[in-house]
């Protein structure tokens, strides 16, 4: 305690310190909920993307040139090359449905890769599967290992969800810190009145 300080100043300091105690936090359940919800959303976004990436990167692969069969869910599916430099030409890839019929394959540009732990997956192209099943992928040109899975880049939803969660948690934290700060101290003349 500063010997020159007045009891009023000591009480305002004590009041400011009290605001940081758990009772203060319990007085702001909305802000705590906002922070908690934001963190949960951010963690969920990261987990979903990581799980999707792992399912593709760690799934079955094909060493080109060659043919492989992949279990595919209905919807858009991407064929990736696991490599540090893309070398497989999209025109060298063909896809067949479980019944043996050809499936249209749309080339992707190799401009951007999905990266994780130093490993890179370059999208070669995509195909749409109307039904889940075993699809046959044939690659006639040499290159890195080929893996098949849901589009990791085509749908930025989980990336946006993660950013929204981080933003919500940040806003809640900023509001909580602002609420914990003591109000402006009136000038000495106003305190005496």
For the entire predicted model, the pTM comes to 0.54
Give residue 73's pLDDT. 83
More confident residue, 71 or 149: 71
- Residue 16 CA, distance from chain mean position: 38
Token pair for 23? 């009772």
Confidence of residue 93 (pLDDT cuts 50, 70, 90): very high
More confident residue, 81 or 110: 81
| Mean pLDDT score of the chain | 76
| Fold designation for 58-155 | Jelly Rolls (2.60.120)
Give residue 154's pLDDT. 42
């Amino acid at each position: 305690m500063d010997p020159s300080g007045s009891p009023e100043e000591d009480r305002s300091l004590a009041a400011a310190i009290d605001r940081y105690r758990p009772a203060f936090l319990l007085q702001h359940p909305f802000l705590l909920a906002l922070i908690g919800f934001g963190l949960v959303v951010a963690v969920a976004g990261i987990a979903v993307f990581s799980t999707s990436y792992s399912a593709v990167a760690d799934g079955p692969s094909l060493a080109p040139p060659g043919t492989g069969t992949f279990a595919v869910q209905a919807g858009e599916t991407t064929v990736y090359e696991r490599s540090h430099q893309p070398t497989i030409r999209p025109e060298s890839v063909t896809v067949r449905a479980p019944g043996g019929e050809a499936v249209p394959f749309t080339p992707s540009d190799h401009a951007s890769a999905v990266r994780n732990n130093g490993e890179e997956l370059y999208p070669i192209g995509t195909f749409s599967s109307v039904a889940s099943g075993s699809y046959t992928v044939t690659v006639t040109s040499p290159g890195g290992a080929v893996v098949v899975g849901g589009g990791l880049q085509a749908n930025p939803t989980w990336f946006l969800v993660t950013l929204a969660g981080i933003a919500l948690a940040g806003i809640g934290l900023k509001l909580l810190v602002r609420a914990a700060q003591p109000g402006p101290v009136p000038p000495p003349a106003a305190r005496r009145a």
